[in-house]
Amino acid sequence: MPLANKDPLWFAVSTRSRFEKKTLRLLQEKGIEAWIPLQKKMKQWSDRRKLVEEPLLRCYIFVNITSDEYLDVLSTKGVVRFITFEGKAIPIPEEQINILKKLIDTESEMDVTQERLEVGNEVKVVTGPLFGMTGHLVDYRGRQRVMMRIEQTGHTLLITIPRSFLELYR
């Protein structure tokens, strides 16, 4: 365990592939607060189309635990490991979890990538559901998007936001 924390802290946990929802249910059955950012996507099969909920960050679950619950999480079916830095699980600031929850609630179109994108101008959202958030503007696939990085997982969220909703952040 990274810290001897008595107050719950958020951590990222890696899961088996395509096992996120089942692992979430198992953790919740143990009384552990866990969360997966789910995104609705339209899927096309040869015979039908269907709206499905998929994890935004594949093979990741976020858990809000004390140090006493560390081994309970690790012993849960589907959990592979805690996301670590230099061998220690690193807590994720609650503010970042809240931002991610806010993004999911807006149902904004998002792409997730692990590639390091070139950082552009830092911008602030001045209107709309993400008002007050800051990020970096990037030109990606011909569209202007705001890039929000969750450092602890190594992922980058790309959110489509109209240019008129943004201003240069100083």
Is residue 38 a contact partner of residue 51, using CB atoms and an 8 Å limit? no
**What number is the average pLDDT over the span 143-157?**
65
Q: Can you tell me the distance from the alpha carbon of 77 to that of 36, in angstroms, rounded to the nearest whole number?
A: 16
DSSP string, 59-97: TEEEEEE-GGGHHHHHTSTTEEEE-EETTEE-PBPHHHH
Dig out the tokens for 166 from the structure: 């943004």
Comparing 160 with 44, which gets the higher pLDDT? 44
In the chain, CATH 2.30.30.30 sits at 105-168
Q: Can you tell me the distance from the alpha carbon of 14 to that of 80, in angstroms, rounded to the nearest whole number?
A: 5
Please state which CATH class domain 105-168 belongs to.
Answer: mainly beta
Q: Can you tell me the distance from the alpha carbon of 97 to that of 103, in angstroms, rounded to the nearest whole number?
A: 10
Q: Give the tens place of pLDDT for each residue, 69-90.
A: 999 999 999 999 999 988 899 9
Q: Which CATH number fits domain 9-92: 3.30.2270.10, 3.30.70.940, 3.40.50.10540, 3.40.190.290?
A: 3.30.70.940
Q: Give the tens place of pLDDT for each residue, 16-35.
A: 999 999 999 999 999 999 99
In the chain, CATH 3.30.70.940 sits at 9-92
Is residue 125 a contact partner of residue 132, using CB atoms and an 8 Å limit? yes
Comparing 140 with 161, which gets the higher pLDDT? 161
DSSP state of 119: P
Q: Give the tens place of pLDDT for each residue, 104-125.
A: 888 776 767 665 544 577 777 7
Averaged pLDDT of the chain: 83
**What number is the average pLDDT over the span 121-138?**
77
